[in-house]
């Protein structure tokens, strides 16, 4: 009908902090992330610098019942379902990792690390028709960030509120990673473009990787080489 309807805006009487990404199952169930309970979108980077885990993952069932699946996530971000909906992935931007929740089978309800110690901070996630998992990395997981995240909380808060010119410099690189369903990295792409940075969304189609950004007013793309396509095809199989 074109009518906009609010499906959920709070949990246990408290409004969501920063709803971020959603994955919809075939039965209409909606899995979605609430990145932080401390900051709004314009200050979301503070959550990464302050390194405080208030991110959450929710399930809204078709009948409207809302369930908290996991809390204490470091800026929960991208959410996807596998092609057969046997598991769900959620990116923790602040922790430079991706976690998996098994939904069916003998491991149903079990959480595990899908990818960790990533070279950058993962944002949104997508899955290709062959099951390959794609993510854009919005910034390097470098020594400067890791050092700040280990400081006492009061010091992290001070750094997070510094003017942009005084904060640790973030990468200007274009970074994309791809994984097979076992969590093995099968592509780690890094490139440069003067008009594009901060890859927040990635989608692959017919050997072309398309990228979007929250900080650039354009989209960009790169074509996978023949060797890359063969490697991805072999790993996906």
Mean pLDDT of the chain: 92
Torsion angle (degrees, nearest 10) of CA 173, 77, 96, 190: -20
- Count other C-beta atoms under 10 Å from residue 177's C-beta: 23
Mean pLDDT of 90-116: 97
| β partners of residue 175 | 137, 190
Q: What pLDDT sits at residue 237?
A: 64
Cα 28 to the center of its chain, rounded Å? 22
| DSSP labels, 172-191 | --EEEEEE-TTS-EEEEEEE
Q: What is the mean pLDDT of residues 200-214?
A: 94
Is there a contact between 133 and 79 (Cβ–Cβ < 8 Å)?
no
Burial of 42 (0-12, 13-18, 19+ CB in 10 A): exposed
pLDDT value of residue 168:
65
**Whole-number pLDDT of residue 203:** 96
d(CA 222, CA 42): 29
Token pair for residue 191? 């490139």
N- to C-terminal Cα separation, the chain: 41
The pLDDT value given to residue 44: 79
pLDDT for 197 equals 86
pLDDT of residue 60: 98
pLDDT at position 169 is: 67
Backbone φ, ψ for residue 28 (5° rounding): 95, -5
For 17-73, write each residue's pLDDT tens digit: 999 999 999 999 999 999 998 888 777 788 888 888 999 999 999 999 999 999 999
Flag whether pLDDT at 234 surpasses 90.
no
pLDDT of residue 143: 85
Residue 12 has pLDDT above 90, yes or no: yes
Query: Which residue do the tokens 């790993």 mark?
Result: 235
State how far the Cα of 23 lies from the Cα of 46, in Å rounded to an integer.
25
Q: What is the mean pLDDT of the segment spanning 229-233?
A: 86
Average pLDDT of the residues in 205-217: 92
Could you report the per-residue pLDDT of 62-93, keeping only the tens digit for each?
999 999 999 999 999 999 999 999 999 999 99
Please tell me the distance from the alpha carbon of residue 115 to that of residue 183, in angstroms, as a whole number.
6
């Amino acid at each position: 009908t074109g009518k906009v309807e609010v499906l959920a805006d709070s949990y246990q009487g408290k409004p969501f902090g920063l709803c971020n990404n959603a994955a919809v199952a075939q039965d209409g169930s909606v899995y979605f992330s609430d990145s932080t309970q401390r900051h709004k979108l314009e200050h979301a980077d503070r959550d990464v610098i302050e390194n405080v885990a208030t991110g959450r993952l929710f399930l809204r069932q078709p009948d409207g019942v809302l369930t908290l699946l996991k809390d204490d996530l470091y800026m929960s971000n991208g959410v996807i379902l596998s092609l057969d909906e046997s598991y769900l992935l959620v990116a923790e931007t602040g922790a430079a990792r991706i976690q998996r929740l098994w939904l069916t089978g003998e491991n149903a309800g079990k959480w595990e690390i899908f990818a960790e110690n990533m070279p950058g901070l993962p944002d949104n996630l997508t899955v290709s028709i062959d099951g390959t998992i794609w993510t854009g990395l919005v910034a390097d997981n470098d020594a400067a960030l890791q050092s700040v995240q280990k400081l006492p909380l009061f010091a992290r808060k001070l750094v997070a509120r510094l003017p942009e010119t005084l904060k640790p410099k973030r990468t200007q690189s274009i970074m994309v990673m791809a994984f097979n369903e076992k969590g093995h990295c099968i592509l780690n792409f890094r490139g440069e473009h003067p008009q594009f940075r901060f890859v927040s969304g990635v989608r692959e189609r017919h050997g072309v990787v398309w990228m979007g950004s929250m900080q650039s007013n354009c989209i960009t793309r790169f074509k996978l080489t023949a060797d890359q396509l063969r490697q991805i095809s072999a790993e996906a199989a």
